[in-house]
Amino acid sequence: MKNYKLLIALCCSIFALISCNKKQNISIDNNLILLISNDVRPSLFSGVPFYCQGEGGKVIRIESQDLRIIYNEGTFEMDYLSFLRKVLNQQIKLQSNRSVYTFNIDKDVDKEYQSKNLADFMHLYCKSYGTGEYVLKKGFTENQRNSIFYFLFINNYLSVLDDYSGSFNIFSVSKLRYHAVDK
């Protein structure tokens, strides 16, 4: 009887650890979403990928102008700002007839993300400049890169390719100078 109770307690503990280990509560910076929603200059976020959920467990890498086009072509029962909040906070799956880049999260990158805090995850994959800006370390496949960028994005980091150096720069959205007013 003691062993039975101990086994139940152990199973409950393992279940609790597994449940708590899945990182959730995604909250993309509202000022960033406001900037995207008010962006009339396509060059403001040109080349900056955003990430959202797609069908079949895939993640979509998409740019801001494509988000607006998909919204305009769709039949969403919400305004554009609400649409962006839901899509970028991974609360709805995006469906589109447009050609968008999709990928599956790399299992090894996912394992590292789930087992580390954000600082350790970033230290594993990025080199810090010490100013809150980072560069992605070399040697990753495209799928690994996209998976890393996805996890950084849901933690309010943006990535951009530096065409000149060929490196991927990463910075916190808090580094952006906001000119949007909260609605």
93-134 residue pLDDT tens:
988 667 789 999 999 999 999 999 999 999 999 999 888 789
13 lies in some domain? no
Would you say residue 18 lies in a domain? no
Range of the domain at 152: 30-175
Say which range, 14-18, 96-100, 139-143, has the weakest mean pLDDT. 14-18
Entry pTM:
0.82
pLDDT value, residue 131: 80
Domain membership of residue 124 (yes or no) is: yes
- Give a yes or no: residue 1 inside a domain: no
What backbone torsions phi and psi does residue 179 show, to the nearest 5 degrees? -125, 10
Per-residue pLDDT, averaged over 41-52, amounts to 80
| 121 within some domain | yes
- Judge whether 24 lies within some domain: no
146 in a structural domain:
yes
In a domain, 7, yes or no: no
Dihedral sign from CA coordinates of 169, 175, 181, 183: positive
Distance CA 37, CA 180 (A): 9
State the total domains in the chain: 1
